[in-house]
Amino acid sequence: MAELVNNKSPLARQPVEDTAISPWKEGWRSFKKNKVAVIGLLIVVFFILMALFADLLAPYSYESQKLADKHLSPSAEHWFGTDEYGRDILSRIIFGARLSLWVGFVSVAGSVIVGLVLGLLAGYYGKWVDMIISRIFDILLAFPSILLAIAIVAVLGPSLRNALLAIAIINVPTFGRLIRSRVLSVKEEEYISAAKAVGMRDGRIIFQHVLPNCLAPIIVQSTLAIASAIIECAALGFLGLGAQPPTPEWGQMLAESRAYILQAPWTVLFPGVAIMLTVLGFNLMGDGLRDALDPRMKN
Amino acid sequence: MEYPMIEVKDLQTSFRTDTGEIPVVNSVSFHLEPGEVLGIVGESGCGKSVTSLSIMGLVPTNTGKVQGKIQFKGENLATASEARMRKIRGNEIAMIFQEPMTSLNPLFTIGEQLTESLRIHRKWNKKQARARAIEMMKLVGLGRAEALMDEYPHQLSGGMRQRVMIAMAMICEPELLIADEPTTALDVTIQAQILELMKKLNRETNTAIMMITHDLGVVAEMCQRMVVMYAGKIVEEGDVSTVFQSPKHPYTVGLIQSVPDMREKKERLYSIPGQVPKPGSQKLGCQFAPRCTHAMDRCLSEAPPLQPFNNGQKVRCWLYGDGKGADIYDSAISSS
């Protein structure tokens, strides 16, 4: 009897499930299912943590030289060996993560903001506004991006800040065009006409209805752009146009050590692997985000 | 006030193209009294939707041009400023769109979108607006309104979304509701429910409805008066019962004949041969002449005027004499 009393009706036991799932939460759900993308996310998080806690993690200072210890092969004391000035490569890579990620995030943030404003204007207002903005994008895209970056740095002078600026500039048209095309299609949606029919003003329509519907592709493209920004930063560093020594920049580490590739391969191997891993992480994550957020992938 | 609530006079909406300005809506005139339901009928591409967009002031300003008069409570909307139109839209004139599936922004909850116009026009706070929105949702027959407020459009069915759209349009108690094919995208049972709902709202709130549709069944069900449009012009106008009983214009006759009749077993459904001409493609004569089985020489060279009949019906056709409005050719059509 007691059991019967305690045994609730099967209807009563059903938990009231929260049915309201925002599209963003749904995107996160399908992202979690994608194992490769989660691995990418883990790699990215690993490097971000490394960059944040570089001071605590690095066993040595990134700039203290010890010429007696030059070109030591990897050992318990120096896990990744030392370079031509006897600096600990592991420590330099850990500090280098800070730099590369900084360049990646800041330059992409810059290009997104500028690209967003230009793309929204061009897409929403069309006509001559679109003409001018789109032609500027066309001109910027006509140059191979790395050449354009080299030209910009050559004019402004080689430094990390200018490299960052150059990378931001060369990425603007990609974002601008992406956003413009997205705005063009969102603009034709009936909910935009409906918003107008309710009596909303342009500014509110752009920020409340158009912009949120453009965010998903922007997030995806940003992740992928961070990866290419890191490579571009390394390339500029390698050419001596980015960070200046003794700043531990991965590309510049490669450039300094390439003469010793046969005698001390670890001096080239580890910075190279670091670049490869970060870029791989961002790319895997970006692909996963695309699958999760792209409306065309959904059924 | 003496004048009707809305009176459209000689409305001409044209669009600029590479080949010049092409009129899509041409000298259209009609009026609506408070609480009246007017049907605007015609095939796709005959200017019904452009007429409604002209009234709302939503014709794109860079390519479109609206001429003529749209008197709304004595104010000409065709020349009203954008700021004034924003105040009217959603507040005094509201609109329901054809596609309930795409008329809601997928990223916001139903509640956020429903309360939007209250917050714009009435400056209500969140709590007030929410209470009113829930009340409105119950009025349009949406059960569990409180829960729906926090759901996203993709969780609702087409019929539910159209109810939400109606609630959204009616929430500021507009005097005129423009419904642009509100039931076209829905299946038949839901269609009937939505029409029933709109009738109920019309009765209870005395909101005038301009029903744009290509479905004669909807007109018969809902409207008191109807306007038949063809190629941007009104070809026939009158009380719904009169027009259905004695359609005058060959186009109207064709439209009524092409409705399947359950009582009769026909081998083949009637259809009007040909299709609506592209706007601006035909300059001379009656626009319907190339498809008309009664076309005469005169139809190809001279455009007929809209002629009034004694019973209030108006027809744009040469079959009915030289503007005398005589009913002599009635038998000629009904026997065919």
pLDDT of residue B325: 45
Q: Which residues of A touch B (CB under 8 A)?
A: 19-23, 126-127, 189-191, 193-201, 209, 212-213
pLDDT at B313: 87
- pLDDT tens-digit map of B226-281: 999 988 889 999 999 998 888 888 888 888 888 777 676 666 777 787 777 777 77
> What are the tokens at A136?
């500027």
Of A37-41, B93-97, B145-149, highest mean pLDDT: A37-41
Which residues in chain A are closer than 8 Å to B85, comparing Cβ atoms? 199
B283 by DSSP, 3-state: which? coil
What confidence tens digit (pLDDT) does each residue in A31-49 have?
Answer: 888 889 999 999 999 999 9
Whether A246 has a pLDDT exceeding 60, the answer reads yes
- CB distance from B97 to chain A under 8 Å? yes
- B212 three-class SS: strand
Buried-state track A216-250, b at ≥16 Cβ within 10 A, e below 16: bbbbbbbbbbbbbbbbbbbbbbbbebbbeeebbbb
Could you tell me if A101 and A229 are in contact, meaning their C-beta atoms sit under 8 angstroms apart? no
The distance of B303 to chain A (nearest Cα, Å) reads 35
Per CB-CB distance under 8 Å, the chain B contacts of A25 are none
Task: Give the residue among A271, A237, A272 at the shortest CA–CA distance from A252.
Answer: A237
Query: CB count, 10 Å around CB of A131?
Result: 11
| Of the partner residues B107, B117, B121, the one whose CB lies closest to the CB of residue A23 | B107
Phi, psi of A292 (to 5 degrees): -80, -35
Q: Which chain A residue shows the shortest CA-CA distance from B150?
A: A20
Q: Is B179 on the interface with A (CB under 8 A)?
A: no
Q: Which of A158-167, A226-235, B158-167 has the lowest mean pLDDT?
A: B158-167
Q: What is the pLDDT averaged over residues B21-44?
A: 88
**A23 → chain B, closest CA residue:** B107
* Facing A19 at nearest CB: one of B98, B155, B168: B155
B168–A212: do the CB atoms touch at under 8 Å?
no
> Considering chain B, what percentage of its residues have pLDDT values greater than 90?
8
Q: Do B105 and A190 touch (CB under 8 A)?
A: no
pLDDT band at A126 (very low <50, low <70, confident <90, very high): confident
Closest partner residue to B95 (CB to CB) among A19, A197, A213 is: A197
What are the DSSP calls for B116-179, one per residue?
Answer: HHIIIII---HHHHHHHHHHHHHHTT-SSHHHHHTS-GGGS-HHHHHHHHHHHHHTT--SEEEE
Q: What percent of chain B has pLDDT over 70?
A: 92
> Could you give the CA distance from residue A228 to residue B254 in angstroms, rounded to a whole number?
64
Instruction: List the single residue in B58, B121, B155 with the smallest CB-CB distance to A197.
Output: B58
* Minimum distance, in Å, between the CA of residue B279 and any CA atom of chain A: 22
Nearest CA-CA distance, residue B308 and chain A, Å: 35
A126 chain-B contacts, CB cut-off 8 A: 62
Query: Is the Cβ pair A191, B121 closer than 8 Å?
Result: no
Model confidence over B191-229: pLDDT tens digits? Answer: 888 888 888 888 888 889 999 988 888 898 889 999 999
Question: B76 forms bridges with which residues in the sheet?
Answer: B71
pLDDT on residue B257 = 82
Contacts of A293 in chain B (CB under 8 A): none
The answer to whether the CB atoms of A191 and B103 lie below 8 A apart is: yes
Asked whether the beta carbons of residue A197 and residue B90 sit closer than 8 angstroms, the reply is yes
**Mean of pLDDT over chain B:** 83
- Least confident window among A164-173, A266-275, B11-20: B11-20
Pairwise CB contact (< 8 Å): A213 & B105: yes
Residues of A in contact with B109 (CB under 8 A): 20
Three-state helix/strand/coil letters over chain A: CHHHHHCCCHHHHCCCCCCCCCHHHHHHHHHHHCHHHHHHHHHHHHHHHHHHCHHHHCCCCCCCCCHHHCCCCCCCCCCCCECCCCCEHHHHHHHHHHHHHHHHHHHHHHHHHHHHHHHHHHHHHCHHHHHHHHHHHHHHHHCCHHHHHHHHHHHHCCCHHHHHHHHHHHHHHHHHHHHHHHHHHHHCCHHHHHHHHHCCCHHHHHHHHHHHHHHHHHHHHHHHHHHHHHHHHHHHHHCCCCCCCCCCCHHHHHHHHHHHCCCCCHHHHHHHHHHHHHHHHHHHHHHHHHHHHCHHHCC
pLDDT at residue B328 in the model:
44
Domain ranges in chain B are 6-223, 246-335
* CATH pick for B6-223 out of 3.40.50.720, 3.90.550.60, 3.40.50.970, 3.40.50.300: 3.40.50.300
CB nearest A198 (choices: B102, B116, B147): B116
Mean pLDDT across A159-174: 92
Note the pLDDT tens digit of each residue in A3-14: 555 555 544 444
Average pLDDT of A75-80?
Answer: 86
- Per-residue pLDDT band for B17 (boundaries 50, 70, 90) equals confident
CA distance A203 to chain B (A): 13
Mean pLDDT of chain A: 85
To the nearest whole angstrom, how far is the Cα of B175 from the nearest Cα of chain A?
Answer: 14
Report yes or no: A267 and A257 within 8 Å, Cβ to Cβ: yes
Chain B interface mutation, best of A29, A190, A296, highest count of B Cβ atoms under 10 Å: A190
Per-residue pLDDT at B294 exceeds 60 = yes
Which whole number is the average pLDDT over A55-69?
Answer: 84
Name the residue facing B103 among A23, A194, A213 (closest C-beta): A194
From the CA of A35, how many Å to the nearest CA of chain B? 26
Interface subset of B 101-140, CB within 8 angstroms of A: 102-109, 116-117, 120-121
| Per-residue pLDDT at B78 exceeds 50 | yes
Provide mean pLDDT across the span B83-90.
88
A191 chain-B contacts, CB cut-off 8 A? 102-105
Question: Is a pLDDT exceeding 70 seen at residue B34?
Answer: yes
- Whole-model pTM: value is 0.74
pLDDT at site A2:
52
pLDDT band at B332 (very low <50, low <70, confident <90, very high): very low
